[in-house]
Structure 1
Amino acid sequence: MTGPVLRGDRLTVERGGSAILEDVSLSVAPDASLLVRGPSGAGKSTLFNVLGLLSTPTSGTLYVNGEDASSLPERKRAAIRRDTIGFVFQDFQLIPDLSAWDNAALPQDHTGSRDEEWLGELFDALDISDLKSQYPATLSGGEKQRVAIARSLANRPDVVLADEPTGQLDPRTAEKVLDLLFGVKERTDTALVLISHDRGLEPRFAETVLLRDGRLTVDADVDDEIDYSLPR
């Protein structure tokens, strides 16, 4: 793959006559580690949903591996999500009545077959092999997030989208989760796009873009005015 995994061209999302995102353009290379950060209300979660084909833009175009995915039927969008994009959510979104192993295997189940060997490699890499049979209620926040990371990589996606993956974790656990994300990224050659309010994450990433009031900016002076003390 030589072109970008994801490319947004003037993405705009309007609700109630107001623009939540406005003319957002960005490109995610196959080896990218990209941080999208900004304050509460900047439109970060909206951008996450658009990039992940969880919602459609009002205008603009989203390309996934060169294919215009903006207006595809839902069945096709679901197939692209399953095969190309891995998701890590702030609130983990694990299914309570499934074991850690079965939660991680869900993307594979949607394809009709499991790759038990690959799941085992992921659990080993994330140091959660002893948690396979445990249920989410018995796991700590950090353990839940590791299971969620395993799930995001189950189908060997081209890109992982992570929405505030450290937002509910203490600083020490958050640092471990970041180490794991980057470690698995290097091992699997997966692009990583992480969305967060936390400016302290910037040194970990090769590229950072700033989202404010629905627009991307790289203006450092504008960035200095943003209050990152509160979660989104």
Structure 2
Amino acid sequence: MSTRQVTAIGFDADDTLWQNEQFYRLTERHFASLLADFADETHISARLLDAEKRNLSHYGFGIKGFTLSMVETAVEVTEGRVPAGVIAQILDIGRDLLRHPVESLPHVHETLEALAGRYFLVMITKGDLFDQERKLAQSGLGDYFDAVEIVSDKTAVTYRRIFSKLADGPERAMMVGNSLKSDIVPAIAAGSYGIFVPHELTWVLEHVEPPVEAPRFRQIAHLGELHSIIETIG
């Protein structure tokens, strides 16, 4: 067994390895423009967020749930008067999200290349199974990873299960991601290191306070700084 303190590294996918939230924001603006005759953009966005919150337990995370929430919001905002043509356009922009090309973030390829083979690398992502598989395939990053876990949600239980099953346990693992709520706080609660890589756009439902007092919390500006953090941990 390795004498390193960390032997496994988990990576979030959306907005950690590749761009994601910016495409949702653009789609949301397009959606609001379709309903401009019924309400202003701020009101529509607030109603959409309410629908997303309600629907998470039904549809989970991902584009399909987001699209259904847009449809539901359109019906609510228009009091049932939304034209069929607008519903068709909403479905079209949802499909466009599912077809959007994958754009890797800076420092991703060189960082994964430097770590692959030296650590057990696992991509841990939540969302729609088919969409996440599509993005991984298009990203060209799949060969760097020893395992891929697509989960319905990320909790301390999730991280304990994954790192215990695939590696040397959560205490000898770290999780790298842009979401404090999903990637960092639960990983630290599981006993792992949590390496926070902020993204300029993060979904409001993923916002929590950073656990700055936690001994295993670290923050870096971009993935290019990950290797130096790993070296200080050992």
Q: 1 or 2, which has the higher strand percentage?
A: 1
Work out which of the two has the higher radius of gyration on C-alpha atoms and give 1 or 2. 2
User: Larger helix proportion, structure 1 or 2?
Assistant: 2
TM over 0.5: no
Report the TM-score when normalising by structure 2: 0.30
